A = this chain, B = another copy of it.
Amino acid sequence: MSSGYSLGTVEVSSSPQERFADFLQSKGKRITQQRRILIDFVFKRHDHFDAEELILNLAQVPEGRKVSRPTVYRTLNELVDSGLLRRMNLRGRAIYEHDYGYPQHDHLHCTMCDKLIEFQSSELSDLLRAVAAEYDFRDTGHRLIISGICSACSATRHRRQTPLDLV
């Protein structure tokens, strides 16, 4: 076993905890009990989640009850700034996912069951890079969500009401 932090598929040089600590230090911010609780929570249990889910999960353990709602929101912003989390918008609210030690990927979003399926495509990255270049655009990232109906939902014909907005 290496000294690296294992993510199952990827091995990186430091844990999210360490990276967050570095980020905070570099900004003159403090490593508080709440921030420690939050980063542990976020990197232990969740894949895709929103603020409300996180808050509900926190409420289920004594440790978690030490963190207030505003602090959750404030810290989620810091985690995004630090590059540890990636934020996207689904049905009008922010959804977060790990963005550390994770390969770049995009999503298929099932509008029936709300499931997110990740996929990777280097062809896609190349294509987007080329598009940006064509417009002299300094590309700092992208969000792509393909909406539709996943195979499971296609089979079961479960209906869902709100088509509403994607992405």
Contact = CB atoms under 8 A, between A and B. Distances in A.
Contacts of A151: 135-137
Interface in A138-167: 138-151, 154, 163, 165-167
Nearest to A128: B146
Interface residues of A, number: 42
A146 B139 CA distance: 7
A167 B91 CA distance: 11
A108 B121 contact: no
Nearest to A121: B131
Chain multiplicity (copies): 2
A141 B147 contact: yes
A92 B128 CA distance: 23
A150 B136 CA distance: 7
Given A94-B165, A127-B121, A132-B108, A142 B145 contact: yes
Interface in A70-126: 80-81, 87-89, 92, 94, 108, 110-111, 117, 119, 121, 123-124
A87 to B, nearest CB: 4
Contacts of A138: 148-150, 154
Interface of A: 80-81, 87-89, 92, 94, 108, 110-111, 117, 119, 121, 123-124, 127-128, 131-132, 134-151, 154, 163, 165-167
